[in-house]
Amino acid sequence: MWFYSLLLLLLSPLILWKIIGFKRRYPNYRLAQAFGLGSKVEADLWIHCASVGEVLAVRPLVLAWQKKQPTGRLLITTVTPTGAEQVAKSFPQAQHKYLPVDWRFAVMLGLSRIQCPHLWIVETELWPNLLRQAKRQNLTVDVINARLSERSFRQYQRFSLVSKPLMSLPDRFFSHAEDDAQRLKQLGAKQVLVTGNVKFDLTLPYEVIHCAWREQISSSFVWIAASTHEGEDGLFLEAHAQLLKQCPDALLLIVPRHPERFEQVFQQARQCFTKVARRSVDSLTAWSDHAVVVGDSMGELLQYYQASDVAFVAGSMIERGGHNPIEAALLAKPVLVGPHTFNFKDITEQLVTVGGALRCANVAELQEDLNALAANPTNGVLQGQKALAFAQQNQGAVERILSQIDIA
């Protein structure tokens, strides 16, 4: 682990710059907790989620656990302030702390202030010092909703001196699929159970099911580019410019993955279109007067999906690996993806196979698919129903995981 410790030391100035930036942008960020300081906490279950996506991913499992343990005390840690905000919104009864930076002294201080027998880590958010100290304190550590793409597997293999001892520390991994399980075992995981993806068990909130956004948008065709990354936004804006030639009142909702890019994407869209709105500024009824709306809000991705006729799941037009298409499928939206979906390879390929998603190899194919779906809305509805059926057929991960975990 000396190599990891050295690397962490070298990166310390960047880490300090990052957490100080959190404090400047988010006044409620508790900087002291990044160094392991803060009040003591007692809990029956501790769940670590890196940020918003992981908090939302584990929601079905947490709700099921709370139903089984109505008096159970829950602690949720996050790395980011936006993750903390989502915890407060999704689990108002839970205690929250920021995870200490993985410096050894900070982790030791932080864990000395947490009294809890069981730690769930969501989606392979593995920190060496955290895991080592948790095991020294005899915590049971389970990795929930674990996934490991072929690309990540190769990267771990390159640093096997660090990765193999790391993967042997958790007591169990509950993985998405058999391929993930085999890769985890090859890296040294002791026990891996294939339980599926808990996101399939998502219970759609009332405010999403009854979301009235679409009724307030008079555009005949609305599509979303969801969770975009740098290098993709221009491709979606180009595709939308071509779509407007066939469907002049079409509307693009472009939602960047990271909030620090909201302003950048807004300015980029303004270079392409004269009328660009922002969720934080413009009312829903005014969106149809614009060509593009930049979704500059957090925790509303499901509402954006619900308001759309077609959902492009981004991160897949570049070699980022794509994001999870399950939320869009559960909302019965026809799904589009790019060529790079290795982060969710099995789910995406199966969704394409059953006809719930279309793969666009490039911008030209994206334009073609958008034109076809805008011209024939019935085809989009049928594709969305296939996506929903696929999602429903894959539910049950929450029950499978809880049946394996005994928490008094």
Q: Are both 157 and 255 inside the same structural domain?
A: no
Confidence of residue 151 (pLDDT cuts 50, 70, 90): confident
Q: Note the pLDDT tens digit of each residue in 76-101.
A: 999 999 999 999 999 999 999 999 99
The secondary element (H helix, E strand) that includes residue 381 is helix 377-393
CA dist., res. 135 & res. 152, Å (int): 25
Contact by Cβ (8 Å): 52, 298? yes
Q: How many domains is the chain partitioned into structurally? A: 2
Angstrom distance (rounded) from CA 224 to CA 159? 38
Nearest to 344 by CA among 18, 43, 53: 53
What CA–CA distances, in Å, run from 68 to 71, 207, 405?
9, 25, 12
Q: What is the dihedral of CA 263, 302, 198, 56, to 10 degrees?
A: 50
Amino acid at position 180, single letter: D
Indicate if 181 and 227 belong to the same structural domain. Answer: no
CA distance 8 to 321: 26
Cα–Cα distance measured from residue 180 to residue 169, given in angstroms and rounded to the nearest whole number = 17
Which one-letter amino acid corresponds to residue 278? R
Dihedral Cα 365, 369, 375, 377, nearest 10 deg:
180
**Tokens for 266?**
């807004």
- Look at residue 204 in the predicted model and tell me its pLDDT: 87
Confirm whether 2 is domain-assigned. no
Is residue 12 situated within a structural domain?
Answer: no
- Please give the distance of CA 173 from its chain centroid, rounded to a whole number: 19
Residues 54 and 169 both lie in one domain:
yes
Q: What's the CA gap between 360 and 57, in Å, rounded?
A: 26
- Domain identity same for 74 and 108: yes
Q: Domain check: are 190 and 256 in the same one?
A: no
Cα 230-244-324 angle, rounded to 5 deg: 40
Buried b (16+ CB within 10 A) or exposed e, 317-336: bbebbbbbbbbbbbbbbbbb
CATH of the domain at 165: 3.40.50.11720
Q: In the predicted model, what is the mean pLDDT of the chain?
A: 94
Residue from 54, 85, 125, 327 carrying the catalytic annotation: 54
The parent domain of residue 119 ranges over 19-203+396-404
pLDDT, tens digit, for every residue of 5-38?
A: 888 999 999 999 999 999 999 988 999 999 999 9
d(CA 313, CA 347): 13
> From residue 287, how far is each of 224, 295, 308, 377 by CA, in Å?
13, 11, 13, 21
330 & 381 share domain = yes
Q: Residue 54 catalytic?
A: yes
For residue 247 the two structure tokens come to 């469907």
- pLDDT tier at 407 (50, 70, 90 boundaries)? low
Residue 160's pLDDT band (cuts 50, 70, 90): confident
* Lowest-pLDDT range of 111-115, 204-208, 253-257, 289-293: 204-208
163 and 195 belong to one structural domain: yes
- With respect to residue 1, please indicate whether it lies within any of the assigned structural domains: no
Q: In this structure, are 183 and 263 located in the same domain?
A: no
pLDDT in tens, 174-227: 998 899 999 999 999 999 999 999 999 988 888 898 899 999 999 999 999 999
Which residues, listed in sequence order, are joined to residue 336 by a DSSP beta bridge? Answer: 312, 358
- Can you point out the beta strands (E) in 154-274? 172-175, 192-194, 222-228, 251-256
Q: Are residue 259 and residue 181 in the same domain, yes or no?
A: no
Domain annotation covers residue 6: no
Helix or strand holding residue 144 (H, E) = strand 140-146
3-class secondary structure, 9: helix
Q: CB count, 10 Å around CB of 209?
A: 11
Same-domain pairing of 175 and 216: no
Backbone conformation region of residue 38, classed left if phi is above 0, alpha if psi is from -120 to 50, else beta: left
> How many CA atoms lie within 13 Å of 87's alpha carbon, on the beta-carbon side?
24
Same domain membership, residue 381 and residue 265: yes
Does residue 324 lie in a domain region? yes
Give the pLDDT confidence of 280-331 residue by residue, as tens digits.
999 999 999 999 999 999 889 999 999 999 999 999 999 999 999 999 999 9
Q: Which residue has the tokens 């682990």?
A: 1
The answer on 192 and 240 residing in a single domain is no
